[in-house]
Structure 1
Amino acid sequence: MTPILLIDDDSTTRLVLKRALQRQGYEVTVANNGEDGVRLAKEIKPGLIVCDWMMPVMDGLEVCRQVKATPYLSTTFFILLTARGAVEDRVTGLDTGADEFLAKPIEIDELQARVRAGLRIHQLSQDLQKQKQMLETELSEAARYVRSLLPSSVSQGPVWIDARFVPSQQLGGDCYDFQWLDDESLAIYLVDVSGHGVGAALLSVSVLNVLRSRSLPHANFHEPSEVLDALNQAFQTTTSADFYEGKYFTIWYGVYHRPTRQLVYASAGHPPALLLSVAKSGTVDRLNTPSIPIGMFPDADYESQCCEIAPSSQLYIFSDGVYEIPQPDGTVWGLDAFADWLSQESDGGGVDLERLLEEIEQLSPDCVLDDDLSLLQLTFL
């Protein structure tokens, strides 16, 4: 049975209330002051506390404040006993964390009814916490599954690739990949599905599998615009399975041709890739082709563009979780700030990806990400 803690400095009140609750079959522990009450609360973890407001040394408000500030006691139902009847006093009690009030002199029938109701609410809170923990566990497992599908970093060959995936607490729909289409052409892409949760993650995995298997009909995977057109036809929100209905995704897709050092790319509603040129003293060029996300309209047009990659350049492909970081002043770090940081940090050389992740962690309030963070860094040797 869930224990009840009774805290009151008046011995008569303690005796009367304890017996009244025990007659109802409750397990009751008593404390005669606030300090002992807080100590006992941490020991026995009661489901409900009945506490007098006016006590020496530590009053009921301070007891309530300390109890509610203890994580494993935060769902404990707290009833304040008080002779105070003013509205402002009740507001103060509620702001402190009290869940209910009982006016003195105490009516035993009312006490028992409030205790029954309080314990029901406590049990409901406990059940909700368990469900939340189960959901968080499932999302964590889904995040590990998505991470297991993503390629690791490559530090050999003509292009070195450093890859990072940091899932948010809610689990988003980020995924990425890179693969040599032949001996001369390297395909790189990053997908970001709208929304959060398992549904977004499953759609991103579906897109990843289609691109990896090159199973899009009538698509030349060397031509980014054709790939985006084919994806848009295959993943229309109005014609896809009900599970994906209403979801869309952004994508950046590029193909690097090694002999000519040409990069052909196209994007669909995705943040631009950033090309950091060491030869140009840290100049950052934005590579994107304006268009709408995949799955919104079947007649959307996608175009490819081309640029030359200078030796030792670095290409950054990422989801918006990299730069859409809320700041304490209500602003967002933003894409411009991210591009400026890359330019300044390069200082005539490459940028260390670990240093970038440290910067993002420092910018994130409480180091908690609101969205998945996916990032590819390609260094062209």
Structure 2
Amino acid sequence: MTAHPGAASRHGWTELRIRVLLIDDQLMVGEAVRRMLATCPDIDFHFLRDPTKAIEVATEIQPTVILQDLVMPDIDGLTLVKYMRAHPKLRTVPLIVLSTREDPQTKAEAFQLGANDYLVKLPDRVELEARIRHHSKGYINMLQRDQAYRALKKSQEALANELAHAADYIRSLLPQPMQGEITSDWRFVPSTSLGGDSFGHHWVDEDHLAMYLLDVCGHGIGPALLSISAINVLRSHTLPNVDFRRPDEVLAGLNQSFPMEQHNGLFFTAWYGVFRKSTRELVYASGGHPPAILCTGPDRNRTRVLPLRTPSPVIGGFAESTFHAEQCQVEPFGVLYLFSDGVYEVFDRDGERLPFETFAEELTRGCQVSGESSHLDHMLDFVRRFQDSKPLEDDFSLLELRF
């Protein structure tokens, strides 16, 4: 229903005046009702004697209540009620039928066809005004509710469109899979339109490959913006006085650049590692983040599984935090997995959490076959099956590098 133009209210919707349309072939009735409502300056009164033009005039005036006689020439009043209720622009307008007598059978039929009220004409002025105001108020409230709903829906659609663009931008920051001596692959499934996870890898120089994964607390626009900012700092090497081949310096630089008190109380965890190709040495540091898992061994059998973690606090929590790096060797055919806690902190239908050891055991099975890209899809299915295919409660971020 289109609202009749009026003054804009402080709520942003249109303020509607009470508009009465009386349809009656008797001029005397029209004049009597006009005089009854003449003392009501907030009520606009319209009178129509020709019932054959009722639909046309009503759609033009857009009344908030219709008064309609039941006995008129050319068209039966009950038939006109039926036409009113069949018209898409009039079907919800309150309709008060007027009759010369109190007839229960006629009254019942009028209500069955869609009339909202029944009055024996001519009613008392006070009663008529009260009924007009009662029905108009309910109708105006409905129009304003619908108008507010349409505005909300439009706003939600605009927000959803913006979130979709933001999600596309975040995904565009994720790395292209590498090929060659070192290969990479990943799976990223945010739990909402915008997640707080991000990750990447890039060559710091010809000999040093950096790899990293961040997990900002919370979900939505705020965590996503912080995650984007942090990942862009790593990609562009814009932390001051930081050697990006030194993971401990990188985490310390992030901690100084993103204090939680300047970012709406948000902090994040991070794992950052650097692989030196010439020596096959991996130096790494973690700030409150789950351990990366390295599958390595003297051959393709991958006899060792190493959790890579350093005991350091979250990023942005305390300015005086210190971060430490450790190192290990990556033997030929080694496989490294970086992930956020959302990939294993999931619960089954009984509320039992997936044990980290069970997750790690399932994850390392993918080390057994080189180049088994489908293993990442298997891990996503494994997690979803464990929690009975419910929607993910946290972001699923899993990055795999094969050396």
For Structure 1 versus Structure 2, the TM-score category normalised by the shorter chain is: 0.5 to 0.7
For 1:69-218, what aligned pairs fall within 5 Å after superposition? 117=141, 120-156=144-180, 158-218=181-241
Instruction: Tell me the secondary structure at the aligned position of residue 271 of structure 1.
Output: coil
Partner of 1:319: 340
TM-score (norm 2): 0.62
| Kept in 1: contact 2:192–2:219 (CA 8 A) | no
Residue 230 of structure 1 and its aligned partner are, at CA, apart by: 1.6
Residue 190 of structure 1 and its aligned partner are, at CA, apart by: 1.1
Instruction: Tell me the secondary structure at the aligned position of residue 253 of structure 1.
Output: strand
Residue 271 of structure 1 and its aligned partner are, at CA, apart by: 1.3
Per-residue Cα deviation, 1:197-222 (whole angstroms, up to 9, x for no partner): 22222222221222222222221211
Partner of 2:257: 234
For 1:1-381, what aligned pairs fall within 5 Å after superposition? 1=1, 24-25=64-65, 117=141, 120-156=144-180, 158-238=181-261, 240=262, 244-277=263-296, 279=300, 281=302, 283-333=304-354, 335-344=356-365, 346-347=367-368, 351=372, 352-363=375-386, 368-380=391-403
Instruction: Tell me the secondary structure at the aligned position of residue 264 of structure 1.
Output: strand
> Cα distance 1:319–1:259, how it changes in 2: closer, same or farther (>3 A)?
same
Residue 375 of structure 1 and its aligned partner are, at CA, apart by: 2.0
Residue 346 of structure 1 and its aligned partner are, at CA, apart by: 4.5
> Cα distance 1:181–1:345, how it changes in 2: closer, same or farther (>3 A)?
closer
Q: Which moved more, 1:110-119 or 1:168-177?
A: 110-119
Instruction: Tell me the secondary structure at the aligned position of residue 393 of structure 2.
Output: coil
Per-residue Cα deviation, 1:109-145 (whole angstroms, up to 9, x for no partner): 8777656555554554444344333322221110101
> 2:226 & 2:267 partners in 1: Cα distance?
9
> Cα distance 1:116–1:363, how it changes in 2: closer, same or farther (>3 A)?
farther
Residue 361 of structure 1 and its aligned partner are, at CA, apart by: 4.3
> 2:273 & 2:171 partners in 1: Cα distance?
22
> 2:340 & 2:330 partners in 1: Cα distance?
22
> 2:271 & 2:365 partners in 1: Cα distance?
25
> Cα distance 1:2–1:286, how it changes in 2: closer, same or farther (>3 A)?
farther
| Kept in 2: contact 1:2–1:47 (CA 8 A) | no
For these two proteins, the number of residue pairs brought into alignment is 291
> 1:307 & 1:180 partners in 2: Cα distance?
19
| Kept in 2: contact 1:188–1:255 (CA 8 A) | yes
Residue 354 of structure 1 and its aligned partner are, at CA, apart by: 2.8
Residue 285 of structure 1 and its aligned partner are, at CA, apart by: 2.2
1:301 corresponds to which letter in structure 2?
T
Per-residue Cα deviation, 1:142-173 (whole angstroms, up to 9, x for no partner): 010111122110122x2111133333324122
Residue 283 of structure 1 and its aligned partner are, at CA, apart by: 4.4
Structure 1 spans left out of the alignment, 5+ residues: 4-21, 27-43, 51-106
2:294 corresponds to which letter in structure 1?
L
Residue 379 of structure 1 and its aligned partner are, at CA, apart by: 0.5
> 1:254 & 1:152 partners in 2: Cα distance?
18
> 2:341 & 2:357 partners in 1: Cα distance?
12
Q: Which moved more, 1:263-272 or 1:199-208?
A: 199-208
Per-residue Cα deviation, 1:273-293 (whole angstroms, up to 9, x for no partner): 111236565643211112211
- Same amino acid, percent of matched pairs: 41
> Larger Rg: 1 or 2?
2
> Cα distance 1:363–1:123, how it changes in 2: closer, same or farther (>3 A)?
farther
> 2:229 & 2:302 partners in 1: Cα distance?
40
> 2:157 & 2:387 partners in 1: Cα distance?
23
> 1:47 & 1:175 partners in 2: Cα distance?
53
Query: Aligned Cα RMSD in Å?
Result: 3.7
Per-residue Cα deviation, 1:47-103 (whole angstroms, up to 9, x for no partner): 98x9xxxxxxxxxxxxxxxxxxxxxxxxxxxxxxxxxxxxxxxxxxxxxxxxxxxxx
1:165 corresponds to which letter in structure 2?
F
> Cα distance 1:343–1:151, how it changes in 2: closer, same or farther (>3 A)?
closer
> 2:91 & 2:335 partners in 1: Cα distance?
57
Residue 377 of structure 1 and its aligned partner are, at CA, apart by: 0.3
Partner of 2:19: none
TM-score (norm 1): 0.65
| Kept in 1: contact 2:302–2:334 (CA 8 A) | no
> 1:122 & 1:262 partners in 2: Cα distance?
65
1:249 corresponds to which letter in structure 2?
F
> 2:259 & 2:175 partners in 1: Cα distance?
27
Per-residue Cα deviation, 1:242-283 (whole angstroms, up to 9, x for no partner): xx2322111100011122222110000111111123656564
> 1:329 & 1:269 partners in 2: Cα distance?
28
